[in-house]
Amino acid sequence: MSLPQALLDSLSQVTGYQADSFIKTHELGESPTSIRINPDKINTPPAHLNIQSPVLWNQYGYYLNARPAFTFDPYFHAGTYYVQEASSMFLEYAVKQSVDLDEDLRVLDLCAAPGGKSTLLASLLSPDSLLVSNEVIKSRANILVDNMSKWGLSNTYVTNNDPKDFSRIGGYFDLIVVDAPCSGSGLFRRDPEAVVEWSLDNVAMCSQRQQRILADVWDSLKEGGILLYSTCSYSEAENETIMDWVIDNLSAKNIVLDKKDTDTIQQWGIVRTESPENKAIGYRFYPDQAKGEGFFLAAFQKTKADYKPFHRPHIKPQRTKSFKHEKSVLSQWITGLEDYMWFEKNDNFYLINPEHESDLKILQSNLYIKKAGILLGQIGAKDLIPEHELALSTILSEQVPILNVSYEQAIAYLRKDDFVPDTNQRGWCGIAYEEHILGWGKALGNRFNNYYPKELRILSRLP
């Protein structure tokens, strides 16, 4: 791989950059494969993934010895793990050092698709906390919904809004993550084609856009709230320059994350960097020094309430209709139904955490919500017609029948191919591989209906 000379020249004075080893690492082109497990679905990484070692800065992250065909792994489709580049898992360390995770937090992941940082955040937050994962590009917001549904938690919402729309909810969030769109030089080993698209003009354009995004979302952060900014670029204009811009233009102070363990950060191969003007501290990952791709992260705290507070909606008293039938149907499908709040909208039933009732109202009246809590399905005269999201959720009752299928059948199911499982069961059942549910099926005697969503099906064949 030949790296753009203009990039190499621009990095010559950048903190931590070591030209020879940086170039050599890119010439080798080997990039480690890593996954992060979903602690709400599994406790240890699946053995068949051939685990090499843990990711040092993330309690759920692991490197693999080789990159498997994830498409043909039912565990992947069951949402038991997420394939994520290791450096970006540093977000866990940053969150732990900057906020109190025992508190109930309102968290925004502003640039969230496809969902790497959002699934990481979801696994860290308390159940009463709320995560809003936003993506401005509609098609990417759909992928984000799929990935958050797969992760299975009821305290995660997905919105499809422009950053400036969040100014309508001044001071709402305790924590905002801005994993900004960037020039992408940090991922050159992964995506050699990105090398061709890289230019200094694009870096300058990205830097301007990053400032605009930060300015647009800033109002929605509360006083004392934390903003975590990250990129996968090596360029100063997208990293140190942005740190200075934030401090000069927003009522923000820099947070040093490694006050107590600078040595640990160093041992991990992470480089501490300082902004030229305000001496703000940020963290750089170089692939020749830390085991991962290029990454940058910096933390800030809001020092002043510089926003117009949002309007808290009035919550009307509870509905009068008893919903007796619906309650009896849903209690067959959901563990501890009484601990949740559920409601009907346009014939569909949804479930959220009761603590988030007013949050839903606030978000609904200001933003375009694509997913709120868990979409359960529709209730007919007799039973629920369950949605795929419910099958993959962590609220599904253990009473719901499960049909464990073989590996070949699991792949056939995920391809939406015809197959008849060997069972005497009748009716709806969760199709599972080694107890991990993949979606719904309906057994009808000598027939079997495959309800795996068409748009998610595997299109390729087993090699």
Ligand X SMILES: C[S@@+](CC[C@H](N)C(=O)[O-])C[C@H]1O[C@@H](n2cnc3c(N)ncnc32)[C@H](O)[C@@H]1O
Judged by CB under 6 A, the stretch of 113-121, 152-160, 254-262, 275-283 that binds ligand X is 113-121
In angstroms, the CA 21 to CA 38 distance is 34
Site string for ligand X, 260-279 (x = CB under 6 A): --------------------
Find the catalytic residue in 182, 206, 232, 429: 232
| Burial of 113: CB neighbours in 10 Å, binned 0-12, 13-18, 19+ | buried
Q: With binding defined as CB under 6 A, does residue 113 bind ligand X?
A: yes
* 180 vs 271, beta carbon nearer ligand X: 180
Tokens of 172: 């709402």
DSSP letters of 114-134? T-HHHHHHHHHS-TTSEEEEE
Characterize the bridge pairing of strands 374-379 and 173-179. unpaired
Q: With binding defined as CB under 6 A, does residue 179 bind ligand X?
A: yes
Q: With binding defined as CB under 6 A, does residue 167 bind ligand X?
A: no
Quote the least distance from Cβ 219 to ligand X, whole Å. 15
In angstroms, the CA 163 to CA 216 distance is 6
The answer to whether residue 182 is catalytic is no
Q: With binding defined as CB under 6 A, does residue 136 bind ligand X?
A: yes
Q: With binding defined as CB under 6 A, does residue 114 bind ligand X?
A: yes
Q: With binding defined as CB under 6 A, does residue 213 bind ligand X?
A: yes
Look at the block and give the residue holding tokens 């170039």.
23
Q: With binding defined as CB under 6 A, does residue 370 bind ligand X?
A: no
Quote the least distance from Cβ 147 to ligand X, whole Å. 8
SS3 276: coil
Tokens of 71: 């498409």
* 193 vs 435, beta carbon nearer ligand X: 193
In angstroms, the CA 97 to CA 94 distance is 5
User: Which residue in 34, 79, 94, 135 binds ligand X (CB under 6 A)?
Assistant: 135
* 88 vs 98, beta carbon nearer ligand X: 88
Q: With binding defined as CB under 6 A, does residue 111 bind ligand X?
A: yes
Number of shown-chain residues binding ligand X (CB under 6 A)? 17
* 136 vs 257, beta carbon nearer ligand X: 136
Q: With binding defined as CB under 6 A, does residue 68 bind ligand X?
A: no
Helices (runs of H) and strands (runs of E) counted in the chain: 14, 22
Q: With binding defined as CB under 6 A, does residue 140 bind ligand X?
A: yes
Q: Which string of b and e fits 326-359 if b means at least 16 CB within 10 Å? A: beebbeebbeebeebbbbeeeeebbbbbeebeeb
Q: With binding defined as CB under 6 A, does residue 115 bind ligand X?
A: yes
* 140 vs 253, beta carbon nearer ligand X: 140
Quote the least distance from Cβ 384 to ligand X, whole Å. 32
Pick the closest to residue 409 from 398, 418, 400, 397 (CA basis).
Answer: 418
| Burial of 460: CB neighbours in 10 Å, binned 0-12, 13-18, 19+ | exposed
Quote the least distance from Cβ 310 to ligand X, whole Å. 20
Q: With binding defined as CB under 6 A, does residue 181 bind ligand X?
A: yes
Contact 132, 155 (CB under 8 A): no
* 80 vs 119, beta carbon nearer ligand X: 119
Q: With binding defined as CB under 6 A, does residue 85 bind ligand X?
A: no
Residue nearest to ligand X (CB): 116
Quote the least distance from Cβ 241 to ligand X, whole Å. 18
Quote the least distance from Cβ 228 to ligand X, whole Å. 11
Pick the closest to residue 170 from 228, 218, 224, 132 (CA basis).
Answer: 218
Any bridge partners for residue 436, and if so which? 433
Binding site for S-adenosyl-L-methionine, by residue number, is 111-117, 135, 162, 179
Characterize the bridge pairing of strands 369-372 and 156-159. antiparallel
Tokens of 176: 């905002």
261 CB neighbour count, 10 Å cutoff: 13
Site string for ligand X, 144-163 (x = CB under 6 A): -------------------x
Quote the least distance from Cβ 163 to ligand X, whole Å. 5
Q: With binding defined as CB under 6 A, does residue 190 bind ligand X?
A: no
Binding site, by residue number, is 111-117, 135, 162, 179
In angstroms, the CA 277 to CA 269 distance is 25
- Opening angle at CA 439, ends 46 and 398, nearest 5: 80
In angstroms, the CA 81 to CA 101 distance is 22
* 140 vs 457, beta carbon nearer ligand X: 140
Catalytic residues: 232
Which residues are near ligand X by CB under 6 A? Answer: 88, 111-117, 135-137, 140, 163, 179, 181, 209, 213
